[in-house]
Amino acid sequence: VTREAAGPESLDPRPADLRLELTRDANAPAVARAAVRSLCDDLEIGSSQPQTLALLVSELVSNAVVHSGAPIDRPVHVCVGVSESTVRVAVTDAGQGFGEGFAPAIREPTQPRGRLGLYLLDRAARRWGVDHTHGTRVWFELAR
């Protein structure tokens, strides 16, 4: 797994295959999962990836809902781009949830606290990263 400070420019393809603006509440992860599953159906993305994609989208949107630090009325944006070989997802919120000098404190999942979501991201994504150019944007790539 490769982790980078900022994703490639192509992470924000225009037009993206899916763009969502979500209200920052506890239902946002379920709404995002339903949308990416529907996209997988439409694009006939393989059988194991939709579950992994839904999982990682759920983790990043949950992080944005819980840890953003932005005013509650600022939405969470999800952007999904699909190429022949890759699915790219970026989740952006207006806060600074990861803070300066972010380093993932990855722990064994037997511990109830800690960044279990980032542990999952690190295990399952081909590459991922965080940038703070506009709020907090966390992105990842999966093989299609």
Partner 1 sequence: VLDLGKTYEIETAVEAGAGRVTFVGELDIASAPELQASSLAMVRDEARELRIDLSKLSFIDSSGLRVLIALRDAAAAEGWKLSLTRPTGEVLSIFALTRADEHLPFVEDARP
Binding residues (CB under 8 A) for partner 1: these are 20-23, 26-27, 29-31, 33-35, 48, 51, 54-55, 58-59, 62, 65-66, 108-113, 116-117, 119-120, 123-124
Rank residues 6 and 30 by Cβ distance to partner 1 and give the closer one.
Answer: 30
Min. distance of Cβ 59 from partner 1 in angstroms? 6
d(CA 43, CA 40): 5
Tokens, residue 124: 């399952």
Closest distance between partner 1 and the C-beta of residue 104, in Å?
13
Question: Among residues 33 and 84, whose Cβ is nearest to partner 1?
Answer: 33
- If the CB atoms of residues 23 and 83 are measured against partner 1, the closer one turns out to be 23
CA 13, 11, 47: angle at the middle one, nearest 5?
A: 95
Query: Largest Cα–Cα distance in the chain?
Result: 41
Quote the least distance from Cβ 24 to partner 1, whole Å: 11
Between 30 and 43, CB nearer to partner 1: 30
CA distances from 33 to 20, 30, 71 (A): 11, 5, 23
- CA–CA gap between residue 59 and residue 28 (Å, rounded): 11
Residue 87, exposed/middle/buried by CB under 10 A (0-12, 13-18, 19+)?
A: buried
Q: How far is the CB of 106 from partner 1 (least distance, A)?
A: 11
Single-letter residue type at 18: L
Query: Smallest gap, in angstroms, from Cβ of residue 95 to partner 1?
Result: 16
**Closer CB to partner 1, residue 10 or residue 38?**
38
